[in-house]
Structure 1
Amino acid sequence: MALDPQAKVILDFMAESGFTFEGKTPEELRSGMGLTAMPSPIELASITDRTIPGPAGEIPVRIYRPSTDAGLPVTVFFHGGGWVVGDLESHDHCCRVIASKADCVVVAIDYRLAPEAKFPAAIDDAWAATEWVATHGDELNVDASRLAVAGDSAGGNLAAVVANISRDHEHVEIIQQALIYPVTDGTCDRPSMTENAEGYLLSRNAMDWFHEHYTVTVEDLSDPRYSPIFSDLAGAPAAVVVTAGFDPLRDQGNAYAAKLLEAGVDVDHVEYEGMFHGFFSMDAGLNVALEAQDQVAAALKNAFAR
C-alpha cells in the first residue's frame, strides 16, 4: 500500500508549515482551526443559523438547504475534532458537499466540547439534537421520516452512538448512518495506531491527548456510548463507512464495519488505501476525496429513495 501522490503533496506541505497537535492547549488548537478554515465554493439555496433546545442550554445549529423544495430528506451532521476542537465553521464545506451531492437538508450540530464539557456531554447534545430534528420536520420543512446521521472522526463516533441509541426510541427512526473514518474503540491499540502513529496528520499522541481531555475516568473508554464497537449492533441502521489506509483509526473503523456486517446490517464500506485521516473534505487537492464524497452521497440518496 502506497501513499497517494496527491496526499503526499498535502502532507509534505503540512509538515513544512510546522502544523502539529502536539503541545497545544484546546484554546490554541481551536484558534488554529479557525484560521485555516477555507471558504467553500459550493452555493446552496440557503444556509441558516439558529439554536435548538439541549440538555444544558441552547445548542447552536446550522441548516443547509440545497433547494427550496419542501419535504427534502434530512441528515444530522456531527463535526470531527476529537471532541475538543471543531465547530460549524470548520466543517462548513463538508456539510455543503453532503447537502449538494445527496440532495438533502443538512443540520450541523455545534455540540459542547471537552474539556469544558466531558463525556458524555457531546453524546447528550448529539442525541438531543437528533431527537429534536426527528420531531420537528414540519418546522424545518423536511421529511423527518427520511432521517440520516453523519459525521467524521469524533463526529463519526457521535453518529454511530446516536444511531445505536435510536433503536430504543420509536419516535427517532434513522434510516442511514454515514461514518467517515470514525472513532469506534477508545481502548484497543490496533496495528494501524502504531503503523500510522506519526506523519499522517492525525497522530497516535494526538488521539491520546483527545481521549485524556474527553474522558472522566478510564472506565469511560469501554462504555458503548464512548466506544460503540462494544455495542450489540443488531438492528442498527444501514451504514456507509469510509476509512483511510494511512489513518491511525483505520483498523477500528474497519472492525466496526465488519461487526455491523456480522450483525446483519447493510454496510457499504470502502477503505481508501492511499489516503490519510481528514482527506474527505480536501477535494481541492485530492481526486480521491471526490470519490469518497460520491460514495457517501450515493448511499444517502439510495436510503432516502427506499
Structure 2
Amino acid sequence: MPRPRWALSLEANFWRNAMAAGMYLHKCASPVPPEPKFTISIPSTLSKFLGKIPLSFYVPDGYTRTSDTKYPVLVNYHGGGFTLGTASDDARWCATVNTLLNAVVISVDYRLAPEYPFPTAVEDGTDVLLWLHTHATEYAIDPARIGLSGFSAGGNMCFSVPLRLFSLQQPTPRLAAIAAFYPSTDFTSPREARRATNIRPDKELPKVFTDLFDASYLWPPKEVRMENPFLSPAMAGDADIHKALPKNVLIVLCEWDELRAEGERWRDRLTKLGLNVWSELVLGVAHGWDKAPNPVWEDRKAKEVYERVCKQLGKVFYGPDWKLPLDVKVKSELKDIPVVTASTQEKARVKPVPV
C-alpha cells in the first residue's frame, strides 16, 4: 500500500534540511562558489499545479542586461530525485561555465515531489524554455545559443524537457547542446534491476533515498506509465528524438553507479542515430560524487571534468576552432575525449585523477 502523501512530505523535508547542510559544507571549500547575481520567478503555464518557478541567474564578469553582447546560456536542472535539492546546488558548475565560456547559467528551482509529482518537474523545466523564447533579448541572451545541463534527475530533464517541448507543436527555442551528468533515462527497469548493474554495490545510492524518490515522484503509482518518454526518455521513438534533441549531446557517467548501464545504452543509441555525442566515464566515483560535503578542498576530479565538458560546449557555442581565453588558466589538460562506446570503453579509460 502506498505511503500517505503527508508521510512522504515529512520524510522529504527531513532530507531536504539534511541535504541543505551538506551543500553548505560543499560550498565552504575554497574557492567558494558565487551566489546567483539575481533571481526572478516566472509563472507556470503547463502544470495543473499553477504557481511560480524561481530562476537563479549566474552570470560572467561584465554581464549586464543592457549589454550589447549577447551571451550563450545554459538552463540548468539540479539533481535530487525530483524530491530534494535547490537551484544553488550546482553553483560550482555554474561558476565554471561563467568563467570558461563567458556564458550565463539559469539554474531552475523546479517544484519538487511529493508535493508536486510527475510530470510537474518536466513541465516546469519546459516552461522555462518557453519563457526564454520570448524573453532572451531582455536578458542579453543569444537565442541561437541555448543549451541545457543537469545532474541525475536534472540529467533526465535534459532529455525529457526537449521531448515535452517538441510535443507542444508551437514556436519554441532550438537547442544547441545538452550536457547531462549521470542522468536517469529509463524508469521501465525496476530499481532492483538497475542496482544489479552496479559493479560496486557498496557505492550505490542508499535505498532509503531511491524509495523516497520513486514513491514521491511516481504518483499516483497505478496511473504513471513508466514508458512515458517524459519520464523515460529512452522510450521515445527515433523520429521524436531526431526532432526534439539538439545535434550536440554530452553525457558524463560514473563508474560506480546504478544508472551507468542505462546511460551507456542511451549514449550508444544516440550515437547510432547520428547525433554528435561526446561522453566520458569517470572512473572511481559513485553517483553524485561531485557534490560531496567536503568543506576543506574542492574536488579536483570534479573540477577537471567540468572543465572538459566546458571545452566541448565552447566548440558548440563559438565554433570548432574555439579555445579557452588566454587569461583563463586551468590546472588540467583539456583534451578531447573520444566517444565511449561499448567496444572502445576499456581503451577510453584513463587513470583517475587523485583528489
Q: State the TM-score, normalized to the length of structure 2.
A: 0.73
Matched, 1:244 2:261: no
The residue that corresponds to 2:196 in the other structure is 194
Give the counterpart letter for 2:265 in structure 1.
A
The residue that corresponds to 1:29 in the other structure is 15
**Aligned partner of residue 316 in structure 2, secondary structure:** helix
Q: Is the 8 A contact 1:149 1:176 kept in 2?
A: yes
**Aligned partner of residue 174 in structure 1, secondary structure:** coil
Matched, 1:300 2:305: no
> Which structure has the greater CA radius of gyration?
2
Matches within 5 A, 1:1-306: 25-38=11-24, 39=27, 41=31, 47-55=37-45, 56-69=50-63, 70-167=69-166, 168-189=169-190, 193-196=195-198, 198-200=201-203, 202-204=205-207, 206-216=209-219, 217-218=221-222, 219-232=224-237, 233-235=241-243, 236-237=245-246, 238-281=248-291, 284-306=297-319
**Quick one: distance in 1 between partners of 2:145 and 2:197?**
39
Question: Which one has a larger percent strand, Structure 1 or Structure 2?
Answer: 1
| Post-superposition offset of 1:290 | 2.2
TM-align CA RMSD: 2.4
Alignment CA distance shift 1:285-1:96 (3 Å)? closer
Gapped runs of 5+ residues in structure 2? 1-9, 64-68, 320-355
**Aligned partner of residue 89 in structure 1, secondary structure:** helix
**Aligned partner of residue 88 in structure 2, secondary structure:** coil
| Post-superposition offset of 1:205 | 5.2
| Post-superposition offset of 1:265 | 0.9
| Post-superposition offset of 1:267 | 0.5
| Post-superposition offset of 1:92 | 2.5
Give the counterpart letter for 2:313 in structure 1.
L
**Quick one: distance in 2 between partners of 1:202 and 1:169?**
39
Give the counterpart letter for 2:301 in structure 1.
V
**Quick one: distance in 2 between partners of 1:201 and 1:36?**
18
Gapped runs of 5+ residues in structure 1? 1-23
The residue that corresponds to 1:3 in the other structure is none
Deviations 1:111-166 (A, max 9, x none): 01000000001111000012212321111111121000110000011111123334
| Post-superposition offset of 1:42 | 5.2
**Quick one: distance in 1 between partners of 2:76 and 2:266?**
19
**Quick one: distance in 1 between partners of 2:217 and 2:152?**
14
Q: State the TM-score, normalized to the length of structure 1.
A: 0.84
The residue that corresponds to 2:344 in the other structure is none
Aligned length: 283
Deviations 1:78-122 (A, max 9, x none): 000000000123333332233223321000110010000000011
Between the two proteins, what is the percent identity of the paired residues? 27
**Quick one: distance in 1 between partners of 2:32 and 2:54?**
22
